[in-house]
Amino acid sequence: MSQPVKIAIAGANGRMGRAVAQALEGRADAVVAARFERPGVEGAGLVAREAALAAAEAVIDFTLPEASVALAEEAAANGGPALVIGSTGFSDEQLARIDALAKTIPIVRSGNYSLGVNMLMGLVRQAAAALPAQDWDIEVFEAHHKRKIDAPSGTALMLGEAAAEGRGVTLSEVADRGRDGVTGPRRDGDIGFSVVRGGGIIGEHSVIFAGESESLTLSHSAIDRGLFARGAIAAAVWVKGKPPGLYDMQDVLGFKK
């Protein structure tokens, strides 16, 4: 039997950091090698980021975009370890930086580590390809807890990208991410986004295909935050030993041919 993958947890005291640690308990294929927070925060079982990187074969990171970029830069400068990034809200510049660093180390980056959501992406892509834009409007709805700081969510944007890919268009050219006041009629082919923030909602995502006489809704509900942690751990186990490159959960789950 192979040795368990040594995993470091970034943002270890955060909600997702704690969920990852809990999900690792009792596993035979992966263990916690180190826990760390932002630079300067140590003690109570935490170590410095440099020590965590030295101890790990993979790092699971659900923090903030700027922290994820800094982590990727340090890991790339050291030649490893591999990274599993679940942070969302990246700017185009930050994404480009992570893409560049993935030429040096393997990085899995996904807006959602759920098996169900990744299945949903495939269904959305197929539906968007089959239902013509002039007859079917697409709206991506998402709801999260009140502490989430970015909108639309990374998962909503992934679903929007899947719909755009199905229609052979670029999401940035057809996305409608805000409506207020007298906006005029909806344009054919637009992919709209609707956002709710409140309470402790873990994650609700729906993609509505609305025609004149019927509508189709594809949806996913997260019941337990642990499902994202378990998906990230699966990604960390999978990415060990992979060559440098930028991967996502479609790669991890074998959905890409």
Tracing tokens 């393997």 back to the chain, one arrives at 106
Backbone torsion region of residue 61, taken as left when φ is above 0, otherwise alpha when ψ lies between -120 and 50, otherwise beta: beta
- Name residue 141's beta-bridge partners: 194, 206
- Rounded CA-CA distance 245/145 in Å is 32
- Which residue, among 205, 254, 256, 211, has the nearest Cα to 228 in the 3D structure? 205
Rounded distance, CA 78 to CA 72, Å? 10
DSSP string, 162-218: HHHHHHTS-HHHHEE----S---SPPTT-EEEEEEE-TT---EEEEEEE-SS-EEEE
144 is catalytic: yes
Question: Is there a contact between 159 and 140 (Cβ–Cβ < 8 Å)?
Answer: yes
Residue 50 forms beta bridges with which residues?
none
Catalytically annotated residue among 6, 144, 220, 240: 144
Does residue 103 have an active-site annotation? Answer: no
The C-alpha atoms of residue 21 and residue 18 are separated, in whole angstroms, by: 5
Active-site amino acid positions: 144, 148
